[in-house]
Amino acid sequence: MSRYAACLSFDFDAMSGMVARGLKTPTPVSRGEFGAMAVDRILRLLDSRGVPSSWFVPGTVIRTYPDQCRRVVAGGHELGNHGWTHVPPANLSPEKEEEGLVRTNEVIAEITGAPASGYRSPSWDLSPVTVDLLLKHGFTYDSSMMGHDCRPYYARRGDVVHDEEPIEFGETTSLVELPVSWSLDDFPHFEYLRMPTSLAPGLANYKMVLENFIADFDFMQRTEEWGVLIYTFHPFVVGRGHRMMLLEQLIDALKERGAQFLRMDEVAREFAAGRLLAG
């Protein structure tokens, strides 16, 4: 295995992210429909470049678009658990969070033959019990936290965070954490979202974002003995024409730099087995 790898991950939220924000009128729903349309566009590009990827899909979206999810799996890509809805687990009761994990793994198993080994929380906001629930239900890895930019690590549970005292770090677990970053996520760069009390302006120039995405890989190669960068995309965001150009040019630029493209479940297995430096 190459010492420097990249994971292309896709959060196929369709309209679930809008629904979770209370945006249920026809236009926000249609934004999700565009994402479903863009799935095949993305799959064709990945196939043309021979690049595997990992897709995280809420259970409600799998039920809404089962054919697209089947095509993801048929293309050799990973199907991961993204909760039942797109409501962040930090906003759910422990019972509702667990119910969502279980229900989504059931529908994933209908498509793939097995429950998901990986989980990514909606909006990257875990609850205090998420790690415990993932361990209880046999997940191998999580990809929702940000404790490093390019090195997997083992997630903790039981941190105690005081308002005015030093943090008390909890127990390190066997759950592999594959860290993410908003800076390597297409949504905050590109998506315009107007809410009653907030505005996400988005709409950045894709070439400037591409420069950042490539520069992070360059920095990893310059400063680290090994590493894995995880890029996060959303079909209804990256599926637009100029952003598809970003995805295509990113893949080509990373290949020129010797990057190995891996599914995230493979990275988690290799890290847990101590083989990530092999090759």
- Which domains are assigned to the chain? 4-272 (3.20.20.370)
The pLDDT value recorded for residue 140 is 98
Structure tokens at 185: 């996520």
The pLDDT value recorded for residue 279 is 41
The pLDDT value recorded for residue 278 is 45
Distance CA 212, CA 205 (A): 11
Mean pLDDT by 10 residues, the chain (279 residues): 90 96 95 97 98 98 98 98 97 98 98 98 97 98 98 97 97 98 97 84 96 98 96 98 98 98 97 75
pTM of this structure: 0.96
The pLDDT value recorded for residue 1 is 57
Distance CA 54, CA 122 (A): 15
The pLDDT value recorded for residue 199 is 80
The pLDDT value recorded for residue 196 is 78
Distance CA 142, CA 12 (A): 17
Residue 135 in contact with residue 173, Cβ under 8 Å?
yes
Distance CA 64, CA 271 (A): 34
User: What DSSP string describes 93-141?
Assistant: -HHHHHHHHHHHHHHHHHHHSS--SEE--GGG---TTHHHHHHHTT--E
* CA R_g for the chain: 18
